[in-house]
Chain A
Amino acid sequence: MLPVGSILFAREKKDDRLISVAMLFTAVLWIVRATAQEAQRRPDGVEVLKAEVRALREEHEEQRKRYEARLKGLERRLQELESSKAHPRAEGRDETSQKALEAELERLRSEQRAQMTTEAGLSFPSVGRVFQSFNPDISVVLDSSYHADSSKEGIEHILQDLDGFGHSHAHGHGHEHAHLDDGFNLRHAELFLGADVDPYFKAWAMAAVSESDAELEEAVIQTTCLPAGLQAKVGKFFSDFGRINAQHSHDWDFVDQPLVHRLLLGDHGLNEKGVQFSWLAPTPFHLLAGVEAFQGDNELVFNYVGGGHLPRREGPRLWVEWLKFAPNLAGKHGLQLGFFHARGVHQEAHDGNSDGIEDHWLDGRGELWGADAVYKYDAREPYGQGDVTLQAGYIRREKDLEVKDHLLTRGFIGRSRTDEQDGLYAQGAYGFLPRWRLGLRWDRVGLTNRNRLPDGTRNHFDETDRWSAMVDFSPTEFSRFRLQVSRGDYALGGRHKDEWQLFLQLVISLGKHGAHKF
């Protein structure tokens, strides 16, 4: 009640004031009118003269104003005329001196070019340095390491016999396993050649040369001309089945790849002959979708053994689909999620009684799917300090095979064998000092780890875990030293083995300055 009352009260007060002001105003008006009427009522000779003088003055003043305005207008027009004449002159002056300046600049530039070519001792002064640019870009990456482990048989053998992931004795296309010896190792020298072919294609080839042999890791022709975000790739290349698989080994944050990649895709990963089509969707975020058709030579999940005991399988035998999604994060953050799936033909030949002769053959299909994520923080500080990379991935494999021929137990023919394995990893790296990084990785494989054999037995195997820590120092972008220690808890023959591994790695790159993908 009180506030309402006070408002009312205020209102009343205000109205009072208004009324008194209005009354005052009327009174003043009334007085003014009365005096004016009084003056009109008493006309005077002096007053008449005064009024005439006033009228004349006003007339004169008006005329003066008119002339002044006309004069001003004329002046303005004159000014405009003058400036319109002067302006082209100023512009013309500036244009001539601009031309002179450009001539001077050109003289300086050509002087510089001439000096460059003569001092460099090149005999193509007129061509300058341009003649070099038709050469393909060349680079060489040397990757050498020192390795030691605590096991008697060597980590490589442990990995080949790991429970559930054991070697299938499939015959791929003669991939030599990169053998890690205790002591000094030269992983390979990677030779890269690449250039734009023409306005429509770019191409590159990469050969991994080891001590005894060489392998063409990549030989790719890629389109640069397709519209609507499309791109095609033909040749031999690393599939985009997961981030690790698409990277070259020297780009990994650790010396070796995560266990799940190593065990399910093999030492070389999905490195196949075929084609890839990908499409960058016109979405406000980064969405890249791709399909790949490959010959199918991977010895672990997709391959063709052939021979009289197995049906003929023509290529392409491997199909891959993948999707990469990256939200449009602002500033220093970058995130990418990947989803991938592969399915294809798989054949195996086994030596059941270990006499060195193959005695049963399996045919069917293999299937892999997985997902991974990477988050990067770009601290934007010099020498990589403060940068963070966090990455994790999961892959699952299923094999579904049928016995096509069995020399030892004819009854198994027509029965099936299935395998299901998976694994994941999580890793991170942090630039703790200029040029120094620290990394930690955790691997677990065999969360699902089972098979069903043709004789009906079902096996469940144990998990394998591994922890790795690394520290690396990159004096420049072209050299890197890395120390890595790994400790694994390997499931082997139903038991667990703890083994240590130590790596010292030196990677250097020569030639063309490589660009790094996200």
Chain B
Amino acid sequence: MKSARRSLLLRAWRSFLGLAALAFCCDTARARELKIVATTTDLRSIAKSVAGGRASVKSICVGNEDPHYLQAKPSYIMMARGADLWIRVGMELEIGRESPIIDGSRNKSIRVGMRGHLDASENVLRLQVPSVRVTRAMGDVHLSGNPHYWLDPLNGRIVARAIAERLAQLSPADAKVFRTNLVAFERALDEHMFGKELVQEIGGAKLWGLELRGDLLEFLDQRNLREKLGGWAAKMRPFRGMRIVTYHRSWTYLAHRFKLIIPAELERKPGIPPSGSHLAKVVELVKGQGIKAILMEPFYSRRAADLVASKTGARVVVCASSVGGQAGATDYLALMDLIVNRLSEALRAE
């Protein structure tokens, strides 16, 4: 009986090997199409805009989850296995799951340092980069800075350019297409940011340069173009210098771009859930500074925010911080639209 079982096992093993060999041949015979795997939906959306129809783009996250707590699943390994390009947010956001996925995929072309591995944070403008020695007593502080950088549209623009450059390296024949797509994406983003008319007249890159140096309004006033400022910049302009409270330290870049101030988070420390004593302090702060809005992602529990709101009259603004996090956040530009609209509505309300 024992030998019968052994021969059965052996036969199963052999037939498996045969099947696998067959599958292997089929796989190599299939035509190649550039495959991109991005870790988040935001990167997926930008990569899609740049790649156009020349690549398939998938993402590990779906957008309505807390990106810090995602678990590595075998199906993610399957996604990474055939990828030509792996795009990560970087700045240690994916540290808890990236290496089992990439190691598990045995795909050497997407390992860190290879051409198929793109850290989208490489060229972005970083905020909250620790300048003192960091310990974990500070909570989930990332050594290379706050990783939620995609909420600054300028960083979205920078990421698109990095993706286009990398795609051109991977598929030189399509370089022209990627370049055209990039220009179109940048133009759309610039128009969303500054308004169509102004971009047509001044040019998006120039406007961003002025915005970076803080000279934009002065420049517009000099040329009598102030009324032509549209888009997110115009929508958020009335709220410059206003204060908001957020749940997690994930809205820093948005606040920085539109000159909002975030004096406190509901989380005691990054990654540590709110406590009663901390919330009491937040309530005092919200009352004292007349803060009108508490901004949070849909995947966090509303309890803490509702508590603070009930004691202060501030509004709770639940808004996705990633593409796919809420209905309407269908792509990167739509996400930013959604955030700007929700936030400006709440801040405008008396």
Residues of chain A touching chain B, judged by Cβ–Cβ distance below 8 Å, are 90, 93-94, 97-98, 100-101, 104-105, 108-109, 112, 115-116, 119-120, 129, 196, 199, 224-231, 279-287, 289, 321, 323, 326, 328-331, 334, 336, 341, 369, 376, 378, 380-384, 387, 398, 434-435, 475-478, 513-518
Contacts and interface: CB of A to CB of B under 8 A. Distances in A.
A130 B66 CA distance: 29
A279 B105 CA distance: 10
Contacts of B66: 380-382
A263 B272 CA distance: 40
Interface in B51-77: 62, 64-66, 68-75, 77
B97 A516 contact: yes
A506 to B, nearest CB: 16
Interface string B86-108: 00000010011111100111101
Contacts of A381: 65-66, 69, 299
A87 to B, nearest CB: 12
Interface string B8-43: 010001001000100110011000000000000000
Interface stretch (B128-136, B278-286, B310-318): B128-136
Nearest to A513: B95
Nearest to A477: B96
Contacts of B115: none
A381 B69 CA distance: 7
Contact of B96 (A115, A228, A513): A513
B235 interface: no
A281 B23 contact: yes
B295 to A, nearest CB: 16
A369 B5 CA distance: 11
B108 A334 contact: no
Contacts of A514: 96
Given A105-B125, A382-B273, A476-B272, A341 B9 contact: yes
B140 A476 contact: yes
A111 to B, nearest CB: 10
Given A516-B100, A517-B72, A97 B105 contact: no
A229 B103 CA distance: 10
What are the 7 tightest A-B residue pairs by CB atom distance, in nearest-first order? A380-B65, A326-B74, A119-B131, A97-B206, A286-B74, A97-B205, A98-B205
A203 to B, nearest CB: 13
A287 B123 contact: no
Contacts of A383: 69, 273
A104 B212 CA distance: 8
Contacts of B2: 398
Contacts of B100: 515-518
Contacts of A115: 131
Contacts of A334: 71, 73-75
Contacts of B103: 224
A104 B81 CA distance: 38
Contacts of B241: none
A328 B80 CA distance: 13
Contacts of A336: 74
A364 to B, nearest CB: 14
Interface of B: 2, 9, 13, 16, 20, 23-24, 27-28, 62, 64-66, 68-75, 77-78, 81, 92, 95-100, 103-106, 108, 111-113, 123, 125-126, 129, 131-133, 136, 139-140, 144, 158, 203-206, 208-209, 212-213, 271-273, 299-301
19 contacts: A101-B208, A104-B209, A112-B125, A120-B133, A199-B113, A224-B108, A282-B81, A283-B20, A286-B75, A286-B77, A331-B62, A376-B73, A380-B65, A380-B66, A382-B68, A382-B299, A476-B271, A516-B72, A516-B100
Given A286-B75, A515-B72, A97 B209 contact: yes
A478 B123 CA distance: 30
Given A98-B205, A101-B209, A226-B106, A285 B78 contact: yes
B100 to A, nearest CB: 5
B181 to A, nearest CB: 16
Contacts of A515: 72, 95-100
A133 to B, nearest CB: 10
B24 A228 contact: yes
Nearest to B158: A105
Contacts of A97: 203, 205-206, 209
Contact of A94 (B70, B123, B205, B272): B205
A101 B212 contact: yes
A184 B286 CA distance: 47
Contact of B75 (A94, A329, A476): A329
Nearest to A378: B71
Contacts of B111: 224
A100 B204 CA distance: 12
Contacts of B105: 280
A26 B35 CA distance: 69
Contacts of B204: 94
B220 to A, nearest CB: 15
B96 A516 contact: yes
B70 A380 contact: yes
A105 to B, nearest CB: 7
Contacts of B27: 282
Given A105-B125, A116-B129, A516 B209 contact: no
B147 to A, nearest CB: 13
A62 to B, nearest CB: 41
A513 B91 CA distance: 13
Contacts of A434: 273, 301
Nearest to A387: B71
A229 B82 CA distance: 10
B214 to A, nearest CB: 11
Given A100-B209, A398-B2, 19 more contacts: A97-B203, A101-B205, A101-B208, A108-B125, A109-B123, A281-B24, A289-B16, A326-B73, A329-B75, A380-B70, A382-B66, A382-B273, A382-B300, A384-B69, A516-B71, A516-B72, A516-B96, A518-B71, A518-B72
